[in-house]
Amino acid sequence: MLGLNKKDTSLLLVVAALTLLAPFILNPFPEGSAMAQFNAGYPDLMQRFVIFGIFAIGFNILFGLTGYLSFGHAAFLGVGSYSAVWIFKLFTYNVLPAIALSVVVAGLFSLLIGFVSLRRSGIYFSILTLAFAQMSFALAYSVLSNPRFNLTNGETGLQVYADDPQWFHRDGLPDLPHLFGLSMRSTYRLDLGAWSFDFNAGYYLCAVVLMVVFYLAIRIFRSPFGMMLRAVKSNQQRMNYTGLNSRPYTLAAFVISGMYAGLAGGLMAAMDPLAGAERMQWTASGEVVLMTILGGTGTLIGPVLGAGFIKYFENIFSKINDNVLHGWFAFLPDGMEDFVVAIIHPFIGKGWHLTLGLLFMLVVIFLPGGLVEGGQRLRNWVRGKPKTENTSGKTEPAE
């Protein structure tokens, strides 16, 4: 189907099922129950799952196939967001032109950065991309917020105001991002007994985009171009000795990866018309690296799983507080209850990063191939197959 083999078609259908049925899958517990704390089926969080999944898929095309580790991909995410908001300010709230411009501008920006950065490899390449990202952050935070040519609005962030031109905005259309009149915040709620499910227009737009870019990623992975990128990762020096110039291939991978990041940034602005410099910080670049490694570097579905894993724990553990814990352990004697809450307290709320760090350590130690390797081991165990050593997740820097 669509030029894919049976295995890849099955994988695409799995991704489609997970994204389309996410409101049901992510709300397994009834509202009002103690376990409802772990539900994640509300629109804002589902949108973040999908958008960061797109971001991670694009990063994996560069890192997973070529082995080039970029610490600057957040720059393209931020550029995409700023581009989309400028479309909203100057022309229209329709999300399609905004998303299209985000991809184009991010592609041009990544072409410029990639042309310089790819003159080096290994750790030097990583440092160059990090430097460019931090320069972009500094430009967005201060230099480009100068009142004479305010392109980013500094620390306040770029947003849409009532006196903005919006030359093509017509009366009768929503004063919010929309798709030909359908507001991205439009949500239908379905109540089934004690359960409640939200179907959000913005989320389903992101879900459709995710399926399209996931399909494109499969085609890239299986194409001769993808094989050339794998050759770069395997032994770039030997490849050059054969007379093949690897730079056009790595530059193309870098630009494609940057366009994916710009697309994610444009979708973020389409869901919430605001762009800030914090999206370009090195921490955002590090986050997509964690997502890719956690899910499974060089695999197709791994980055999506890693993005969902991190964003789920970020939102769930960060909103658990001592009051919630006392409610869970109220059945214990008072002294024991306070002791248990005191032990768990550092791992929740503002300390959720500690929990994420421990989970990441466990995955790296016991599942070097990421969550995908964990799924493969579970499948083999269910089928009764002997345990085999999986090294698919191992990625060496390009030399």
Structure tokens at 94: 């329709």
| Domain assignment present for 38 | yes
Q: What's the pLDDT score for residue 388?
A: 52
| Domain assignment present for 159 | yes
| Domain assignment present for 195 | yes
pTM of the model: 0.91
Residues 150-178 pLDDT 10s: 888 888 889 888 888 888 877 778 788 99
CATH of the domain at 60: 1.10.3470
Residues 69-98 pLDDT 10s: 999 999 999 999 999 999 999 999 999 999
φ/ψ (deg, to 5) at 104: -65, -50
Domain range enclosing 32: 6-281
For residue 275, the cross-strand partners are: 158
| Domain assignment present for 385 | no
* 189-to-73, 184, 196, 202, 398 alpha-carbon distances in Å: 36, 15, 7, 14, 49
Q: What's the pLDDT score for residue 386?
A: 65
Residues 190-207 pLDDT 10s: 988 889 899 999 999 999
Residue ranges in the chain modelled with pLDDT below 50? 390-399
Closest CA to 95 of 276, 275, 272: 272
| Domain assignment present for 375 | no
| Domain assignment present for 89 | yes
| Domain assignment present for 296 | no
Q: What is the gyration radius of the CA atoms in the chain, in angstroms?
A: 22
Count of structural domains within the chain: 1
| Domain assignment present for 363 | no
Cα(152)–Cα(101) distance, integer angstroms: 16
